[in-house]
């Protein structure tokens, strides 16, 4: 019985090798006269993500889209001045103080559902930003801050505790908003 099973297994392996072209006899020796350079595997270029500005929230209030100021991504507001803008859904109007820091992102995860009503997007920062963000969150407990892209508020969380992981979790209430947040946060520099 064992000999029969071993023989069948060996036959199946040899047949598979012949069918898939893996057997050495299936590969003739190349006799090309071409002088082209051998192909090298292509490596995807490293995409650098645009820095993510962080501003303090001085005031926030519910609004309607028609009461949101126009923004121009080609001409962002000066980082040293006050910025009045809205969130991505144009339902909250913010007055933001001058830029406090810029985080260098290395990766933005695709949105993941947390519950039926909330989605999460994880931002990963580089080591220098990880250190700066850990120091900032330790020094500013309960601060209300805003992450900005194209002069719009991506998300405006309250700092609950020091963040030392090098990752920032942002949450939204719809899959569409989470997708938009991830796309904007991960925009190339």
pLDDT tens column, 127-156 = 999 999 999 999 999 999 999 999 999 999
- pLDDT digits 0-9 by tens, 31-66: 444 455 555 556 656 679 999 999 999 999 999 999
What's the whole-number mean pLDDT along residues 154-176? 92
Per-chain mean pLDDT for the chain: 81
Start-to-end Cα distance in the chain = 66
Give the residue, 10 or 75, on which the prediction is more confident.
75
Which residue, among 157, 149, 159, has the nearest Cα to 181 in the 3D structure?
A: 149
Delineate the domains of the chain, giving CATH numbers in brackets: 52-186 (3.30.1360.200)
Strand partners, 121: 170
Please give the pLDDT value at position 101.
Answer: 96
At 83 the three-state DSSP class reads strand
| Least confident segment among 23-27, 110-114, 136-140 | 23-27
Six token digits for residue 17: 């090798």
DSSP letter string, 91-160: -EEEEE-S--EEE-EEEEPPPEESSSS-EEEEEEE-HHHHHHHHHHHHH-TT-BEEEEETTEEEE-PBP-
Please give the pLDDT value at position 73.
Answer: 84
Three-class DSSP labels, 13-78: HHHHHHHHCCCHHHCCCCCCCCCCCCCCCCCCCCCCECCEEEEEEEEEEECCHHHCCCCCCCCCCC
Which residue, among 82, 60, 85, has the nearest Cα to 70 in the 3D structure?
A: 85
DSSP 80: T
Q: Residue for token digits 């995807």? A: 44
**Cα 10 from Cα 107, distance rounded (Å):** 47
**Cα 53 from Cα 83, distance rounded (Å):** 12
Which residue, among 102, 120, 91, 92, has the nearest Cα to 55 in the 3D structure?
A: 102
**Cα 174 from Cα 117, distance rounded (Å):** 7
């Amino acid at each position: 019985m064992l000999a029969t099973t071993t023989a069948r297994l060996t036959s199946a392996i040899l047949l598979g090798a012949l069918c898939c072209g893996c057997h050495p006899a299936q590969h003739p020796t190349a006799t090309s006269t071409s002088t082209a350079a051998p192909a090298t595997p292509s490596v995807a270029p490293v995409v650098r993500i645009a820095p993510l500005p962080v501003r303090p929230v001085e005031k926030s209030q519910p609004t309607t889209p028609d009461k949101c100021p126009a923004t121009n991504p080609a001409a962002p507001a000066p980082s040293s001045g006050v910025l009045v803008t809205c969130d991505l859904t144009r339902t909250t109007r913010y007055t933001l103080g001058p830029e406090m820091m810029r985080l260098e992102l290395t990766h933005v995860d695709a949105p993941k559902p947390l519950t039926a009503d909330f989605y999460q997007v994880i931002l990963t920062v580089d080591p220098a930003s990880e250190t700066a963000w850990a120091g900032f969150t330790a020094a500013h407990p309960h601060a209300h801050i805003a992450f900005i892209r194209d002069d719009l508020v991506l998300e405006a969380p309250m700092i609950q505790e020091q963040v030392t992981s090098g990752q920032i979790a942002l949450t939204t209430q719809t899959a569409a908003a989470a997708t938009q947040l991830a796309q904007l946060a991960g925009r190339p520099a």
